[in-house]
């Protein structure tokens, strides 16, 4: 099914040079790196047929946490391959940061394609101190990261307040605590304005 999915999707995306392909989100249930790697080697050539230079992100075992294991036996058959690391700051602390450091030391290119500043359930209390430690580590290594999630769902990880029904023209007052932290983090990195407003969606 995955092969057929990418055979259907990739031709429609081949004209775009800004598409990143993540081929499996959070392998879990005891899935080994050997199995994940075998799967990746079946999927990557399908994508490469249409996107020979696109970045392809491969998940890692245990909900994309065991990047240290992947670093011992990386994919060498193709270029422009990165490996997913996911964390939730209130749950994943020094032990997972150590895995990150080990993978980087071995030269494994990482992309944090999902993270939150609450616990791993997507709910619970926010831990800004641990979140800030993660961002300091990622910025120190130059690792890109994408925060989960841009929604108004009634849970801690949502970046928009659950009572907000807007679909455009969001302002700072519409942000949840997680959203406020994210915007402030981006501002501190020099990537946002002081008078933050979400832009209007583009016309299709």
User: CB–CB of 145/115 below 8 Å?
Assistant: yes
Of 22, 26, 155, 203, which one is the catalytic site residue? Answer: 26
The whole-number pLDDT of residue 1 equals: 87
Of 114, 136, 194, 200, which one is the catalytic site residue? Answer: 114
Cα–Cα nearest to 64, from 26, 121, 95, 119: 26
DSSP secondary structure, 77-125, as one string? SSSSEEEEEEEETTT--HHHHHHHHHHHHTT--EEEEEEESS-TTS-S-
Task: Label residue 29 exposed, middle or buried (CB < 10 Å: 0-12, 13-18, 19+).
Answer: exposed
| H-helix or E-strand spanning residue 150 | none
Residues of the chain short of pLDDT 70, as ranges, are: 191-204
| 26 catalytically annotated | yes
| 194 catalytically annotated | no
Backbone angles phi, psi at 116, to 5 degrees: -140, 165
Tens-place pLDDT, residues 101-157: 999 999 999 999 999 999 999 999 999 999 999 999 999 999 999 999 999 999 999
Round the CA-based radius of gyration of the chain to a whole number and report it.
Answer: 18
* Calpha distance 7→168 (Å, rounded): 34
CB proximity list for 115: less than 8 A, separation 6 or greater: 86, 87, 88, 89, 134, 145, 146, 147, 148
Cα–Cα nearest to 122, from 166, 59, 178: 178
| H-helix or E-strand spanning residue 153 | none
């Amino acid at each position: 099914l995955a092969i057929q999915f990418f055979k259907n999707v990739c031709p429609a995306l081949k004209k775009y040079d800004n598409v990143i392909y993540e081929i499996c989100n959070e392998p879990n249930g005891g899935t080994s790196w050997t199995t994940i790697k075998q799967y990746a080697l079946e999927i990557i050539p399908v994508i490469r047929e249409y996107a020979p230079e696109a970045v392809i992100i491969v998940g890692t075992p245990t909900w994309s946490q065991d990047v240290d294991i992947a670093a011992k036996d990386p994919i060498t058959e193709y270029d422009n391959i990165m490996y997913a690391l996911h964390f939730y700051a209130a749950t994943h602390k020094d032990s997972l940061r150590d895995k990150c450091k080990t993978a980087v030391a071995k030269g494994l290119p990482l992309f944090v394609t999902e993270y939150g500043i609450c616990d791993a359930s997507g709910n619970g209390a926010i831990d800004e101190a641990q979140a800030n430690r993660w961002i300091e580590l990622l910025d120190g290594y130059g690792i890109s990261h994408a925060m989960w999630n841009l929604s108004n769902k009634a849970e801690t990880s949502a970046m928009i307040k659950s009572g907000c029904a807007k679909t455009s023209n969001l302002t700072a007052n519409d942000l949840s605590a997680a959203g406020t932290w994210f915007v402030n983090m981006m501002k501190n990195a020099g990537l946002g304005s002081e008078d933050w407003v979400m832009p209007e969606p583009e016309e299709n």
